[in-house]
Amino acid sequence: MQERWYRNAAIYSLDVCTFQDSNDDGFGDLPGLISRLDYLSRLGVTALWLSPIHPSPRRDGGYDVVDHYGIDPRFGSMGDFAELLNQADERGLRIMIDLVVNHTSDEHPWFQAARSSPDSPFRDWYVWSEEEPADRWRGAVFPDVEPESWSYDEKAGAWFRHRFYRFEPDLNTSNPQVRAEIRKIAAFWLRLGVSGFRVDAAPFLIEDKTPGRHYRRDYEFLRDLRDTLSWQKGDAVMLAEANVADDELLEYFGEADGSASRILMVFAFRLNQAVMLALARQDAQPIRDVLRELPELPQHAQWATFLRNHDEVDLGRLTEEERQDVFAAFGPDPDMQLYERGIRRRLAPMLDGDQRRLRMAYSLQFTMPGTPVVRYGDEIGMGEDLSLPERTAIRTPMQWSGTPGAGFTSGDATDTPLIIEGPYAVDRVNVTDQRRDPDSLLMWFERILHTLRECKEIGTGHHEVLDAGPPHVLVHRATSPSGAMLFLHNLGSEPCRVAVDLQPEQDETPLNITADADYGSEVDLGALDLNGYGFRWIRLRRDP
């Protein structure tokens, strides 16, 4: 077992349905994904996180599950999934899947049984109210699309709770039978060979579902899940989607004898929002503030960093003024905004396709404390299709080539259309063209991801912000038993010079590891030049 593999990983997030079609039905599948594993291995990622792969009506991108133990037939068979695990193992790639157990589809057999009769053994697997709930209009996740959190079911003769869409009824995770089933689901996929789970909607999963006690969290259920993982597969991890306040975050990790006892990884939402604000204002202060304020994590706990994920850019924890600054910079058109809090665009068009800013932004992400998560297509600078509803705007098929099917399919990509017009169309942004260009974004991603794997200080070290340089420059240091690294990022468009004091234990000549340009072989910490939107990774010390 590789010790703590997730702390020095690079995770690649993808939807099987939009990655590669192998049978020309216009729908991506597992054999198609298998055919692209060499590409992913060469890219430099070490783990793949697959969005839901289970049978589903796909009214919500597969998050409306009807069978937690199956593979959607459009993706292939369970045998295809086993082959994916085998082929991934051959290339040293780990597979993580979504654990979507806060809710099910309303077509799930459990819900159909639950609504059929008050005496059904599955009735208490969901959350019901005989009377119209007082909090009917409270707590909806998609307020401008689905304003209610309770809906009335005629067949059941009762109201059922749903944090998300009305076709996704919430499971009653306060029910011991439901909890046992969730543990069984996790054990099933671990036994097949997955390396862990991204836990969807973690705060809602652990809400106390007892009537009158909603919105209270039962963190011990996370400990129960962790125990299941530990017994089934010792190095398996859970990565929680938990966009919560700082005082709640440590509860998700838990702590026993100084080590994380519940979840091992949590998405760094607050850091993500600070980075987006800093990029919008071209001012590093929001990042400095958050890096200094983030809680100290227990041993073995880890942040997961990201710039763009499969959802909207969630700005909900910024102030109204801060949020409007990000909207003005990256999503000024109301059609670019979503759910009263976010932006439904990919990063490349948000940064106007500026290669300097894109590379600086990803370099910034890759040097933040934690494990980076990259969304498919970001390595080539894919754009979005705002004619598609809600979050599907950023879930278009992977652009492998400039051919009519973009190398994704030889059939018609009817489920989610290809981008065929504008500056991010398939004939302008694709893997094939960028593979031929040594200066392309794709080739840069390959270099930077392989460099990242040589810098263990980032994933396992202590990060410290240094007071150096002008306001638009972030200077920080990462130190671990393997050595020490210095990172500089210029969020502004103008070049500058930064003076950094002699660093503690500085007993070696500083060495340039990577940068946006050639700054020469000599490194003078007292006079470090940076281009506009420039960045530098400098090794201060390596301990064998």
- What are the catalytic residues? 200, 241
Cα 475 to Cα 195, 306, 326, 391, 495, distances in angstroms: 35, 19, 22, 34, 15
- Residue 303: both structure tokens together: 């942040």
Residues 498 and 162: their CA atoms lie apart, in Å, by 52
Residues with Cβ within 8 Å of residue 181, at least 6 apart in sequence = none
Structure tokens at 490: 């210029």
Can you say whether the dihedral through the CA atoms of 443, 448, 451, 453 is positive or negative? negative
Count of positions (residues) in the chain? 544
Contacts of 261 (CB under 8 A, 6+ apart): 223, 226, 253, 254, 255, 298
Specify the residue for token string 């051919």. 403
Output the CA–CA distances (angstroms, integers) from residue 175 to 7, 106, 207, in the order listed. 34, 19, 12
In the numeric block, which tokens belong to residue 244? 């919560």
Looking at residue 481, what DSSP letter applies? T
Burial class (CB in 10 A: 0-12, 13-18, 19+), 274: buried
Question: If we measure between CA atoms, which residue out of 232, 238, 203, 200 comes closest to residue 217?
Answer: 203
C-alpha 27/C-alpha 20 separation (Å) is: 8
DSSP 17-73: GGT--SSSSSS--HHHHHHTHHHHHHHT--EEEEPP-S----TTTT-S-S-TTS--T
- Check if the beta carbon of residue 379 is closer than 8 Å to that of residue 421: no
